Each structure stands twice: as C-alpha cells, then as structure tokens.
C-alpha cells in the first residue's frame, strides 16, 4: 500500500526502463495479455483479488508488469506502433488524456456488460474505473478529541477554532476542491471549479500550512511524527497508520473521491483478450474481493451487494455508498479540460509567492 499510493501520480524519472522487453515470446495460441499497474502491495492485492481469479475464469494468462508512472511509457509504446502492454491501471486523468491524444482504444460497452452496468460517472469512452481512494481530512487524536475534531474543510481553514499545524498536498488536484468546499461550495456543485475563488481561499490558509507534501509516505510521516496536527491525505495512508497503533483518525466527510481506471493501449497486441479481461476485472465479485486485501474501495458499486464485504468493512471503504454520499466525486474530465490544465499550471506560481 505504501508504494501503491505514493506512486499515484508523478514520481517521475524513477524507472521508465524497467518494463520494456522481456515479454516478447510466448506461444501464440495461448490467450494472454500484459497488464500493468503501479506495483507494491497494491498490485499484490489485485493479483489475489482480481487478476488470478480473472485469469482462471477466462482461461487466459495475465502477464504482469509494474511502473510508478506509466504515462511516459504509454506514450512512447504507442508512438512506436508496436506496444507491448495491453491493459493499464492508471490514475483516471491519464485515461482521459490518452483517449484525447489517440493513445487508447475506444471501448465498445456492448462487449463490456459489467462496465456498462456501472454509473456513468465511473467510466469514459476510453476507460472504466477500477478502484477508489479518497483525499480525506486526517488529524491527530492526541491534539483533537473525538467530539472536538475538525470535520470539514471549513474546520480545516478555521485556525481559531482548531489551532494547530497543517499540511496540504503540493498539488492542485483535490486541493482546489477542498478550498472551494471550505468556502462553502457544496460537494456536488464543485465543477467546473471556480479556480480564482479556490486560489483566493488557499491564499487565506497558506500562512498556516507548515508543509506542502509531495509523496503519500511524507503525508503519513508528518502526521505520525506530530509534525502537523491535521493534513489532507489519502485514506489508505491514514488507515495504515491506525493499524500500526498511531493516534490518528480521518473523516470521509467532504473527502474527494478519486479513482484509477483501466484502459487499453491503441493497437494493443492482444486486443480481443484485453477487452474480455477488462469486463472481468470489474466483475462485482472480484471487485468485492479487493478491499479484503487493501484499503481501497471497489469501483463497481454492485460489489457491495455481493455480501463478500462485511458491514464493518464496508463502513471503512471510500466508495461504500454511505461514504461516497458524503464526498465529492473528482471530475477527471474537468481536470483534463483546458481550464483544468490551466489551473494546474498556476500552481507553482502560487507556491512561490
């Protein structure tokens, strides 16, 4: 889990070369695909919950590969005209961007009944959501007792009522959403983001932000060491701390629900098998198995009807209907629109001032 969420975005330049080659020759008659995710505990959990059962059910071989940031590799593989990967699990924004740039296969949802049954907001013409995580408000229980803990972004911004040191992510995605909710925008009325308003609100809290964190590991360390008293962090990071016995907690209230999605590379070597796998990967039962191995929520809401996940476990998952209702669903479509890209470009300027 540590590695998985630390690599959610942009740990750049680490290991682009790791994954090329090696996967060339296998007998052509056996159906197979190459599936790529982000490695670590996250990929291991998928292997047990989703990949192995899918391979067995479909009678195919799933070759796995992992890379922290797949985006540059997707680009160069497709540009070469002979990609070696078939299906990738990447932050949903990359699927949208890849679709726009012609790097991905357009999906035919008539061949993907499992995906077609999922909420429309969970898919795009090029991708299907695969799992959910959430950017939540986490805090130290040593500093705030259960009854008097910050419970909304307005509380996070309220330095008088909730004195203490704070950290936010050094990235506009989810941070601008939090700022707008702190300013009173309802979670379901965020998009299109009022970027000026969000940055104005962020200016307000900026003097009170001790650290702008860059990696998920850092956000957890800051909270665990008491370096900050509250932080926006990914739910899996915080729950990992609580499992180790740290006095920290988080709320899903006004969390920002984010996802990774599956998409298929343009001219993938095993296109037909890849489509079959894609459908199988979001099968409600496989999806329900995922949270038994890691603190991420299934992307297919039907997973919660399978009875595989126990009620007390359901309550901990970001995409559980009750928790999802309290949160804002990240619009990757907005973030990959020109307005979203412009907002992303403003970030460094904001940090420097």
Instruction: Return residues touching another protein (CB under 8 A).
Output: 9-10, 12-13, 72, 75, 97, 165, 170, 210-214, 218, 221, 225-227, 341, 344-345, 348-349, 351-352
Distance from the first to the final alpha carbon of the chain? 34
Exposed, middle or buried by CB within 10 Å (0-12, 13-18, 19+), for 204? middle
Residue 40 beta carbon to another protein: minimum distance, rounded to whole angstroms: 17
- DSSP track, 95-146: HHHHHHTT-BPPP-GGG-HHHHTS-GGGEETTEEEEEEEEEEEEEETTTS-G
CA angle 16, 22, 23 (to 5 degrees): 105
Residue 170 beta carbon to another protein: minimum distance, rounded to whole angstroms: 4
| Helices and strands (H, E) in the chain, number of each type | 17, 11
Residue number with CB closer to another protein (49 or 167): 167
Hunting for tokens 């894609």 — which residue is that? 278
Residue 227 beta carbon to another protein: minimum distance, rounded to whole angstroms: 5
Residue number with CB closer to another protein (10 or 26): 10
Phi-psi region of 119 (alpha: psi -120 to 50; beta: other; left: phi over 0): beta
Residue 123 beta carbon to another protein: minimum distance, rounded to whole angstroms: 23
Residue 265 beta carbon to another protein: minimum distance, rounded to whole angstroms: 17
Residue number with CB closer to another protein (123 or 165): 165
């Amino acid at each position: 889990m540590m590695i998985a969420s630390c690599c959610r975005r942009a740990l750049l330049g680490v290991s682009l070369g790791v994954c090329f080659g090696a996967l060339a020759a296998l007998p052509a008659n056996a159906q197979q695909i190459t599936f790529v995710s982000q490695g670590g505990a996250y990929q291991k959990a998928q292997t047990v919950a989703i990949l192995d059962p899918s391979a067995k059910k479909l009678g195919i071989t799933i070759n796995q590969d992992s890379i922290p940031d797949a985006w540059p590799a997707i680009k160069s593989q497709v540009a070469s005209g002979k990609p070696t990967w078939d299906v990738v699990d990447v932050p949903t924004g990359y699927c949208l961007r890849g679709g726009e740039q012609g790097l991905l296969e357009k999906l035919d949802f008539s061949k993907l009944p499992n995906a077609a049954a999922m909420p429309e907001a969970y898919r795009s013409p090029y991708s299907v959501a695969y799992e959910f995580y959430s950017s939540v408000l986490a805090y130290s229980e040593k500093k705030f007792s259960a009854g008097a803990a910050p419970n909304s972004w307005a509380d996070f911004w309220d330095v008088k009522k909730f004195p203490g040191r704070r950290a936010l992510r050094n990235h506009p995605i989810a941070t601008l959403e939090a700022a707008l909710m702190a300013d009173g925008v309802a979670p379901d009325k965020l998009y299109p983001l009022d970027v000026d308003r969000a940055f104005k609100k962020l200016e307000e809290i900026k003097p009170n932000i001790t650290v702008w964190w860059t990696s998920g590991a850092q956000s957890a360390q800051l909270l665990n060491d008491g370096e900050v008293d509250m932080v926006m962090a990914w739910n899996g990071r915080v729950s990992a701390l609580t499992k180790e016995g740290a006095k920290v907690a988080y709320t899903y209230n006004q969390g920002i629900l984010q996802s990774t999605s599956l998409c298929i590379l343009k001219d993938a070597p095993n296109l037909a098998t890849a489509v079959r796998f894609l459908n199988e990967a979001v099968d409600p039962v496989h999806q329900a198995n995922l949270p038994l191995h890691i603190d991420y929520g299934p992307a297919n809401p039907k997973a919660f009807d399978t009875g595989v996940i126990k009620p007390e476990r359901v309550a901990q998952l970001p995409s559980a209907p009750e928790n999802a209702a309290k949160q804002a669903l990240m619009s990757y479509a907005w973030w990959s629109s020109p307005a979203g890209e412009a907002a992303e470009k403003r970030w460094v300027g904001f940090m420097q001032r």
